[in-house]
Amino acid sequence: MTLSNRHTEDYLVIGLGIAGLLFCEQLIKNGNSFTVIDGSYPSASKVAGGLFNPVVLKRFRAVWKAREALSAFGAYSRLEKLLEFKCIHSDPIYRRLSSPSERNKWITAADESELEPFLSEQFKPNTHPYLKADFGFGEVLQGGRVEIKDVISAFKDYLMAKSHLAPMDHFDYTQLTVSSEAIIYKGKTYKNLVCAEGMGIANNPFFNQLPIQPNKGEYLKIKTRDLKLEAIYKSDIFLIPLGQDEYLVGATYNRFGQDTTNTIEARKILEDKLKALIACPFEIVGQQAGLRPTVPDRRPIVGTHPHFSRIHLINGLGSRGILHGPMLAEILYNSIEHQKNIPVEMSVERYNALF
């Protein structure tokens, strides 16, 4: 079978977390034909809080490539149109300030050119009867939340309706034939293979030498009638309103966690941190865990396999997949289709010595 065969599709995509989904959005936008295979491996995206926040709130620094990342957010608006539901919310994020010196740090940071668009100079005094914040809050601008679990579910339905989604299956690498001419999988021919497997990369023989490591995160879901919050609050943890008096509380970071079981330890840590932020009763109604795909240099990895020009990767989205995903999907697409260079700091090229 050759590429001129009329049954050839442009892309085969493995994985439908945020990385695979946003890459598919590029394919739809540009009119490419494609099929997605998504298995039942744990998905970090389905348990993520969905936050996008352009500021490292521990250190008052702008997140790596925050401005470029936000300027690629048209992808979420296009998804809203395609899926016909509002999935992106520009909610304020209020960072609790713990002392007068932290207030001063905030004022200094808000004056810096890289942070000025993201930090309000006005402090919000704490007037809430159940929030513990003697020194008030600083407001982060241009942050918010994507309803990522619902987007994935609606996108799956869309793909199914358009016959872009293969039946739920694990990608079987023993059934793959790769040449410089084509990708052949289970008798069908594609021009390109895009691997977006999150921590499922451990089973990918083309890329599993890359240093993508799990960092386990856990969230609690709580219910309380007393808070009535509409914004996102941040102390040592994020407190994220979900509606109907429910909130997400989290998340934990554990680089030794290898599985997605809920732990008593994480529950206790999150409960204690929540009690340091709120002073009203709450009920824990859920807990969830996932594995963030992280890279030691804290940069994602996108690009093309050094020896197989038709196999590509988008992974290592770490703890900021919602913010960086649209930009990375666009960069990878433009590299494959238009031979645009990928900056080396995010490129698979920086690990060429491992292949």
Q: What residues make contact with ligand FAD under the rule CB under 6 A? A: 14-20, 37-39, 41, 43-45, 47-51, 170-171, 196-200, 203, 217-219, 250-251, 290, 292-293, 315, 317-323
DSSP structural state of residue 335: H
Tell the smallest beta-carbon distance from residue 9 to ligand FAD (Å): 17
Nearer to ligand FAD, 37 or 110 (CB): 37
**What whole-number distance in Å separates Cα of residue 206 and Cα of residue 14?**
13
Q: Report the alpha-carbon distance of residue 136 to residue 7 in Å, rounded.
A: 61
- Please check whether residue 224 is in contact with residue 246, taking contact to mean a CB–CB distance below 8 angstroms: no
CB of 299 to ligand FAD, least distance (A): 13
Residue tagged 């590429």 (tokens): 3
Contact present, 250 and 49 (Cβ < 8 Å): yes
Closer of 109 and 323 to ligand FAD (Cβ):
323
- Is the CB of 25 or the CB of 218 nearer to ligand FAD? 218
Secondary structure class of 350 (helix, strand, coil): helix
In angstroms, what is the minimal distance from the CB of 216 to ligand FAD?
A: 7
Kindly state the smallest distance separating residue 293's Cβ from ligand FAD, in Å. 5
Which residues are CB-neighbours of 351 under 8 A, at least 6 positions away? 209, 210, 211, 301
For ligand FAD, the closer CB: 43 or 304:
43
Q: How far is the CB of 164 from ligand FAD (least distance, A)?
A: 14
Over the range 172-182, which residues count as b (16 or more CB within 10 Å of their CB) and which as e?
A: eeeebebeeeb
- Judged by CB, which is closer to ligand FAD: 17, or 54? 17
Q: Which residues contact 296 (CB under 8 A, 6 or more apart)?
A: 211, 213
